């Protein structure tokens, strides 16, 4: 079995006085099955954090746990979620209602199913305003509703308050959801795949709206997505999730230049990049994510990983700091070797180097490719 160099020690926790959201050692279960495992991160004021990974990696469940909207069979089994310093784990529904929509808001993935089809847009905005300000006047509700629609780029907001969701386009409905989410000036906005069903132009417009909210109002945004192009354009920092864990945390620029987890590298390698030949097939990640009821021992990604050595299927990888900065880490035994591979942004394929393995082990093969449709971004 290969020997591995002991990882560098993690630095002491940094100052958290500017944090608006802190997630600490969070575990979420559906019944007896753990689906989010020991997730920790924090979000600073006016910061844009992206959470990426394949479908089933735990991204949306993490979001629902943070905002207290897990299904009836779901629960936070351990850990803490602090919103503006207040721990929300264990709060009753009534107690959480005072926080949700005021300090913390969620933009759902599908606006057509999230908006009530039989109520006008103005009525639905008014409901949110009255929930947290019961004595607000009708005149102020109308004034504030117009302000909100105008702030997210809805034209002629005064007349459109009386329209119903089906009278709005997909992109405009998404803007309405954002307007409802920011109605009470929350500190944190969690957006769950807000651009998935939108065309590229509308997607860019929605991201511009979110960006303007950060700049003008100081709102922090947590963006959940499988689209790495959106992440590169919008986010300051990125968390990569796999099998319910954060396997890499990095500033966005650092992730795209020097991804240090093989899963992150494989996701990036599956992107169509400028300079790639049209005849060159995209890379794909072999296999499928593991069932949460039957996780492999050691590293959960090891059965699919082209960098894996013997130890990977036996010993769970620790967090290893990457480079000189203290804000980029990866849960990979070979993080430093992976980070030293050719940057994805500068090469059509960021396959492992030919012989990085310790003596006695064969070098990991390059990321396999064939003519199948890539599944890494889904």
The set of long-range contacts for 350-356, using a CB threshold of 8 Å and a minimum separation of 24, is 350/259, 350/265, 350/268, 350/269, 351/269, 351/306, 352/306, 352/307
Specify the pLDDT at position 277: 75
Q: Is the dihedral of CA 11, 41, 324, 335 positive or negative?
A: positive
Global pTM?
0.83
Specify the pLDDT at position 208: 92
Going by pLDDT thresholds of 50, 70 and 90, the confidence category of residue 104 is: very high
Specify the pLDDT at position 3: 40
Specify the pLDDT at position 343: 57
Architecture of domain 19-235: 3-Layer(aba) Sandwich (3.40)
Percent of the residues in the chain that have a pLDDT greater than 90, as a whole number: 68
> In whole angstroms, what is the distance from residue 51 CA to residue 34 CA?
19
H-run or E-run covering 176: helix 170-181
Specify the pLDDT at position 195: 84
CB 317 within 8 A of CB 232: no
H-run or E-run covering 36: strand 33-44
Predicted confidence (pLDDT) at residue 347 exceeds the cutoff of 50: no
- Mean pLDDT across the stretch 201-209? 89
Q: Which residue has the higher pLDDT, 359 or 188?
A: 188
Predicted confidence (pLDDT) at residue 351 exceeds the cutoff of 80: no
Specify the pLDDT at position 280: 77
Predicted confidence (pLDDT) at residue 275 exceeds the cutoff of 80: no
- Mean pLDDT across the stretch 174-197? 92
User: Where along the chain do its domains lie?
Assistant: 19-235, 264-346
- Mean pLDDT across the stretch 35-49? 97
CA 79 distance to own-chain centroid: 19
CB 329 within 8 A of CB 248: yes
Predicted confidence (pLDDT) at residue 188 exceeds the cutoff of 80: yes
Predicted confidence (pLDDT) at residue 41 exceeds the cutoff of 60: yes
Specify the pLDDT at position 12: 37
Render pLDDT for 279-332 as a digit per residue (tens, 0 to 9). 877 778 889 999 999 999 999 999 999 999 999 999 999 999 997 667 899 999
> In whole angstroms, what is the distance from residue 302 CA to residue 305 CA?
5
Going by pLDDT thresholds of 50, 70 and 90, the confidence category of residue 202 is: confident
Going by pLDDT thresholds of 50, 70 and 90, the confidence category of residue 375 is: very low
Average pLDDT score over the chain: 85
CB 68 within 8 A of CB 151: no
Specify the pLDDT at position 283: 78
Predicted confidence (pLDDT) at residue 374 exceeds the cutoff of 80: no
CB 141 within 8 A of CB 184: no
> In whole angstroms, what is the distance from residue 48 CA to residue 23 CA?
15
Predicted confidence (pLDDT) at residue 137 exceeds the cutoff of 50: yes
H-run or E-run covering 337: helix 335-339
Render pLDDT for 153-164 as a digit per residue (tens, 0 to 9). 999 999 999 999
Q: Which residue has the higher pLDDT, 274 or 350?
A: 274
Specify the pLDDT at position 270: 82
Going by pLDDT thresholds of 50, 70 and 90, the confidence category of residue 278 is: confident
Predicted confidence (pLDDT) at residue 197 exceeds the cutoff of 90: no
Lowest mean pLDDT among 18-22, 117-121, 272-276: 272-276
Lowest mean pLDDT among 146-150, 193-197, 269-273, 329-333: 269-273
Q: Which residues contact 239 (CB under 8 A, 6 or more apart)?
A: 41, 49, 50, 51, 52, 246, 248, 249
- Mean pLDDT across the stretch 239-249? 97
Predicted confidence (pLDDT) at residue 201 exceeds the cutoff of 60: yes
Q: Give alpha helix (H) positions in 6-120.
A: 59-66, 93-97, 111-114
């Amino acid at each position: 079995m290969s020997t591995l160099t002991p990882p560098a020690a993690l630095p002491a926790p940094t100052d958290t006085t500017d944090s608006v959201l802190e997630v600490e050692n969070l575990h979420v279960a559906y019944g007896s099955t753990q689906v989010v495992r020991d997730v920790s991160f924090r979000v600073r004021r006016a910061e844009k954090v992206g959470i990426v990974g394949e479908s089933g990696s735990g991204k949306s469940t993490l979001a629902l746990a943070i905002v207290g909207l897990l299904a009836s069979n779901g629960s936070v089994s351990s850990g803490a979620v602090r919103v503006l310093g207040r721990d929300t784990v264990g709060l009753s529904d009534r107690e959480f209602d005072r926080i949700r929509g005021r300090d913390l808001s969620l933009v759902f993935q599908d606006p057509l199913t999230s908006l009530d089809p039989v109520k006008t847009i103005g009525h639905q905005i008014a409901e949110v305003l009255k929930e947290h300000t019961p004595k607000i006047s009708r005149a102020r509700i109308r004034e504030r509703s117009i302000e909100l629609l105008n702030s997210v780029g809805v034209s002629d907001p005064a007349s459109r308050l009386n329209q119903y969701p089906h009278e709005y386009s997909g992109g405009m409905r998404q803007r309405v959801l954002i307007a409802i989410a920011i109605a009470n000036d929350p500190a944190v906005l969690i957006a769950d795949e807000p651009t998935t069903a939108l065309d590229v132009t509308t997607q860019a417009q929605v991201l511009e709206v979110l960006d303007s909210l950060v700049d003008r109002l100081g709102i922090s945004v947590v963006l959940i997505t499988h689209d790495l192009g959106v992440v590169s354009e919008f986010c300051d920092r990125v968390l990569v999730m796999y099998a319910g864990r954060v396997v890499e945390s990095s500033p966005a620029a650092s992730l795209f230049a020097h991804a240090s987890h093989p899963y992150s590298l494989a996701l990036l390698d599956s992107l169509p990049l400028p300079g790639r030949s049209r005849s060159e097939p995209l890379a794909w990640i072999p296999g499928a994510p593991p069932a949460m009821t039957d996780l492999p021992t050691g590293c959960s990604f090891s059965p699919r990983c082209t960098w894996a050595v013997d130890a990977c299927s036996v010993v769970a990888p620790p967090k290893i700091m990457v480079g000189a900065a203290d804000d980029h880490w990866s849960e990979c035994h070979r993080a430093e070797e992976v980070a030293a591979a050719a940057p994805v942004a500068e090469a059509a394929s960021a396959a492992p180097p030919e012989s990085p393995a310790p003596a006695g082990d064969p070098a990991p093969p390059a990321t396999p490719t064939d003519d199948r449709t890539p599944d890494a971004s889904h």
